[in-house]
A and B are shown apart, each in its own frame.
Chain A
Amino acid sequence: MDATTPAALVAARKRRPLRARDVAPYVFVSPFFILFAVFGLFPLLFSAWLAVHEWDPAEGLKAMHFVGLENFRFVLTDPWFHRAVGNTLWLSVATALPQHLVALPLAAFVHEKIRRGRDLVVGAYFVPYITSSVAIALIFSTLLSRDYGAVNALLAELTRVPLLGSFMPDHPIDWLGDAHYAKPTVAFVVFWRYLGWNTVLYLSALQTISPELNEAATLDGASPVRRFFHVTVPLLRPMIYFAVTLSIIGSLQLFEEPFILVDIEQGVSQSVMTLAIFMYRLAFGEGDFGAASAVSWLVFALIVALAWLNARLFGREGRGE
């Protein structure tokens, strides 16, 4: 039995008096946990409590009354909830897949080919992450305007180009106003915003792959593409796991981009209503905090399920090599 397994430690502790080493973890952890208990745990418990109550916050704390699982029943039979789930899953896949499929090769390319201007290039990709949401809302709505936006103007010009022109749409597209296009457009903006972030993650992971492995593969005659798939990707598996986990959590809670790009008062907002936006509407629009809390716990269950799936696919196997 290893001397550091919990059972061994407990046994060891019984034999001798308390040492600094036993107390230390609690001491180290306590500042964090005191804050967490107050500002993290309490809201968590409050929301669990609310999930089984009916409450309009504008009525004050005394107005809560217990309704058991009624909120869950309401949400699970709500057509808007189903739509929100569909939208969220669609957006999650539509943003996560391209994110990682592009970030990984991009990071590999930057890692190998770009030495000097690396910070600048990576910085350019990182910039969307720091652009303020107010700016994003205005600029994208201006660029994507149906009749007066630069994107449609560009597409109109491209219609004249011989081969490419035949693929171009023949009338201006309402990128953010048409239900068919709003979802992909929002997906694109999310992709735009977080691509740099994932690239940076992968780039840092690539630093740890020893160059000898790649050299050996090249000497064996492997092309860059083969090297990428057979050497780089398998070694990056733990980082892929980490990055994908963050993506899952992030995309299932997607709120900001659809919220700022599509005005909640417009009809097309239904097509980009994610679970988080649905929760916001329930809580502050319909004054139904109980239902909103119920949704958040359902989302929590969904995240846990997907995170577990992710762990099975990318997790443990990558470690202990």
Chain B
Amino acid sequence: MKRRRFAASLGSCLLGRLGAAPAQGVETTLVVASFPDLDRAAQAARAQWARRHPDIEIKLVSRQIADHHTAMTTALATGAGLPDVMALDFRFVGKFGASGGLENLAGPPYDGMALRERFERYAFTQAINKKGELTTLPTDIGPGTLLYRKDLFDQAGVGEAELTASWDSYLAAGRKLKAATGAYLLGDASDLRDILLRAGLHDGEGLYFDADGHVLVESARFVRAFEMSLQAHRDGIEGRAQPWSNDWVAGLKRGRIATQLMGAWLTGHLRNWIAPDQAGRWRSAPLPGGAFASYGGSFYAIPKQAQHKALAWEFVKLLCADREVQLQSLRVLDSFPALLEAQQDASMAAPIPYLGGQRARVMWRDIAAKVPAIPVNRYDAVATDVIRDAFEQVVSQGVAVRDALRDARVLIEHRARWR
């Protein structure tokens, strides 16, 4: 049986007909460029698309996430080889949005701004570039949450209220946890730093740059973030394990890391492969100190030089603004929908077994509504690198916080030279 299958696939390889057989009378193909895991959402949406446009085939081109954005940059550079629909990760939205190569979905015939009220407020703001153009539509979001091991904190006698009351109480809880169980509060101090930088931002306030392009890294917000994270490091309550590293995965698996500040979607990862045996022991809470932030998110755009723009817009709307498809993506990807209607669906109130039956999605929905709408800047990625580097110097080489931040400001000003 296996041999026959092998021969068959080899045969079809030679004949060059591997892949889906073309539908009857196909005239147009819509090219969608995406990356795993998001491509599965587009794949799943084929069913709904086929119902509406049975004669238009969807060709899905998937690449590894960094490769995808590199290939898209290359295609935009020359205007050739562009897909009709382009998926973008949050980290690249600022850069691609500012590039001028994406259709302005606010203009005719799209009139995308009419959809504004239907989407998560802060995500929609990220989709608008500095010139006020709506260059993408958001499809999923990552409301920031504190995922924590309830059983470990019970051992240390710390309740959720104490854990999330303020950042100081959060760190104090970490010290108690260490004394009682030996586990680390945090995977890495940089997790704390990143969140503290975002805590307390208001609508319209930039993370690293203000509206005039001034670099903000010497402000009190940055100093506090650095100092508190440094303190966490000194108290020994962080595991020096960067998210997604081997040590981090192993740390979570073995119960050495008790909390993680991350997007709600981390729950799916924990359940599927990181720590499936810890089902029921984790809980999700809002971020400490009344902070609201988002982690990641995905968007779809239409290049200016796409071939089938009207059809592309139909597909983008299907993926982003169609309630059924958004809920389907949630089921397939465990992603959190950016469409408000989908967030209001009754299925959101379902208990999540991994989190001990907690109705976490409702909480995440409320969190998402309170996340401030922070504009993205084309140099955000550069500033992130510089700040990360500066923090590394503070922690490993004992450089003073203010000196490191001053050097960071100088470096960012140097690098973000066309801001």
Q: Which residues of A pack against B, CB within 8 Å?
A: 54, 56-61, 63, 74, 77-80, 141-142, 145-149, 174, 177, 179, 266-268, 270, 281, 284-288
**B364-419 contacts to A (CB < 8 Å):** 378-379, 381-382, 385, 388-389, 391-392, 396, 411, 414-415, 417-418
Distance in Å: Cβ of A217 to nearest Cβ of chain B: 52
A79–B411 CB distance below 8 A: yes
Q: Which residue of B lies closest to A289 (CB)?
A: B77
**Looking at the complex, which one of B77, B379, B415 makes contact with A58 (CB distance below 8 Å)?**
B77
Residues of B contacting A: mostly = helix
A286–B382 CB distance below 8 A: yes
B70–A284 CB distance below 8 A: yes
Cβ-based interface call for B245 (8 A): yes
Distance in Å: Cβ of A261 to nearest Cβ of chain B: 12
Q: Which residue of B lies closest to A79 (CB)?
A: B411
* A267 with B101, Cβ < 8 A, contacts A57-B76, A179-B396 known: no
Cβ-based interface call for B100 (8 A): yes
Distance in Å: Cβ of A224 to nearest Cβ of chain B: 44
* A145 with B250, Cβ < 8 A, contacts A61-B77, A268-B392 known: yes
A57–B246 CB distance below 8 A: no
Query: Could you list 19 further interchain pairs (A-B, Cβ under 8 angstroms) beyond the known A58-B72, A267-B391, A287-B73?
Result: A58-B95, A58-B100, A59-B100, A60-B78, A60-B79, A60-B101, A61-B79, A74-B414, A74-B417, A78-B415, A148-B246, A148-B250, A174-B247, A177-B242, A281-B385, A284-B69, A285-B385, A286-B415, A287-B378
B77–A60 CB distance below 8 A: yes
Cβ-based interface call for B96 (8 A): yes
A61–B414 CB distance below 8 A: no
Cβ-based interface call for B229 (8 A): no
Sorting the interface of chain B by its residue count into under 10, 10 to 19, 20 to 34 or 35 or more gives: 35 or more
- The distance in angstroms between the C-alpha atoms of A282 and B418, with both chains bound, is 13
* Per-residue A-contact encoding for B43-79, CB less than 8 Å = 1, 0 else: 0000000000000000000000000011011101111
Query: Which residues of chain A are within 8 angstroms of B396 by Cβ–Cβ distance?
Result: 179
Distance in Å: Cβ of B87 to nearest Cβ of chain A: 15
B99–A58 CB distance below 8 A: yes
A267–B69 CB distance below 8 A: no
Query: Which residues of chain B are within 8 angstroms of A281 by Cβ–Cβ distance?
Result: 385
A267–B190 CB distance below 8 A: yes
Query: Which residues of chain B are within 8 angstroms of A147 by Cβ–Cβ distance?
Result: 247, 250-251
B73–A54 CB distance below 8 A: no
Q: Which residue of A lies closest to B245 (CB)?
A: A177
Query: Which residues of chain B are within 8 angstroms of A179 by Cβ–Cβ distance?
Result: 392, 396
Query: Which residues of chain A are within 8 angstroms of B78 by Cβ–Cβ distance?
Result: 60-61
Query: Which residues of chain A are within 8 angstroms of B379 by Cβ–Cβ distance?
Result: 286
- The distance in angstroms between the C-alpha atoms of A116 and B76, with both chains bound, is 56
* A177 with B247, Cβ < 8 A, contacts A54-B418, A63-B100, A77-B414 known: yes
Q: Which residue of A lies closest to B397 (CB)?
A: A179
**Looking at the complex, which one of A56, A74, A149, A268 makes contact with B99 (CB distance below 8 Å)?**
A56
- The distance in angstroms between the C-alpha atoms of A59 and B72, with both chains bound, is 11
* A78 with B414, Cβ < 8 A, contacts A57-B76, A284-B73 known: yes
- The distance in angstroms between the C-alpha atoms of A177 and B396, with both chains bound, is 12
Q: Which residue of B lies closest to A144 (CB)?
A: B246
B247–A59 CB distance below 8 A: no
Query: Which residues of chain B are within 8 angstroms of A285 by Cβ–Cβ distance?
Result: 381-382, 385
Q: Which residue of B lies closest to A287 (CB)?
A: B95
**List of 8 A-B pairs having minimum Cβ-Cβ separation, nearest first:** A58-B99, A57-B77, A267-B392, A145-B246, A58-B76, A148-B250, A267-B388, A59-B99
Query: Which residues of chain B are within 8 angstroms of A149 by Cβ–Cβ distance?
Result: 246
Query: Which residues of chain A are within 8 angstroms of B73 by Cβ–Cβ distance?
Result: 57-58, 284, 287
**Looking at the complex, which one of B74, B101, B388, B411 makes contact with A59 (CB distance below 8 Å)?**
B101
Query: Which residues of chain A are within 8 angstroms of B79 by Cβ–Cβ distance?
Result: 60-61
Q: List 22 A-B contacts (CB under 8 A).
A: A57-B73, A59-B76, A59-B101, A61-B77, A74-B417, A79-B411, A142-B246, A145-B246, A145-B247, A147-B247, A148-B247, A179-B392, A266-B242, A266-B245, A267-B190, A267-B392, A268-B392, A281-B385, A284-B70, A285-B381, A285-B382, A286-B382
- The distance in angstroms between the C-alpha atoms of A284 and B75, with both chains bound, is 12
B245–A60 CB distance below 8 A: no
Q: Which residue of A lies closest to B378 (CB)?
A: A287
Query: Which residues of chain B are within 8 angstroms of A177 by Cβ–Cβ distance?
Result: 240, 242, 245, 247
Distance in Å: Cβ of A106 to nearest Cβ of chain B: 32
- The distance in angstroms between the C-alpha atoms of A61 and B76, with both chains bound, is 9
Distance in Å: Cβ of A131 to nearest Cβ of chain B: 19
Distance in Å: Cβ of B262 to nearest Cβ of chain A: 15
Distance in Å: Cβ of B247 to nearest Cβ of chain A: 5
Query: Which residues of chain B are within 8 angstroms of A80 by Cβ–Cβ distance?
Result: 411, 415
Q: Which residue of B lies closest to A58 (CB)?
A: B99
- The distance in angstroms between the C-alpha atoms of A214 and B126, with both chains bound, is 74
- The distance in angstroms between the C-alpha atoms of A80 and B246, with both chains bound, is 28
A58–B96 CB distance below 8 A: yes
- The distance in angstroms between the C-alpha atoms of A244 and B34, with both chains bound, is 43
- The distance in angstroms between the C-alpha atoms of A292 and B76, with both chains bound, is 18
Distance in Å: Cβ of B395 to nearest Cβ of chain A: 9
- The distance in angstroms between the C-alpha atoms of A216 and B396, with both chains bound, is 59
- The distance in angstroms between the C-alpha atoms of A77 and B410, with both chains bound, is 12
Q: Which residue of A lies closest to B381 (CB)?
A: A285
- The distance in angstroms between the C-alpha atoms of A148 and B190, with both chains bound, is 22
Query: Which residues of chain B are within 8 angstroms of A286 by Cβ–Cβ distance?
Result: 379, 381-382, 415
Query: Which residues of chain B are within 8 angstroms of A148 by Cβ–Cβ distance?
Result: 246-247, 250
* Per-residue A-contact encoding for B71-92, CB less than 8 Å = 1, 0 else: 0111011110000000000000
Q: Which residue of B lies closest to A63 (CB)?
A: B100
Query: Which residues of chain A are within 8 angstroms of B101 by Cβ–Cβ distance?
Result: 58-60
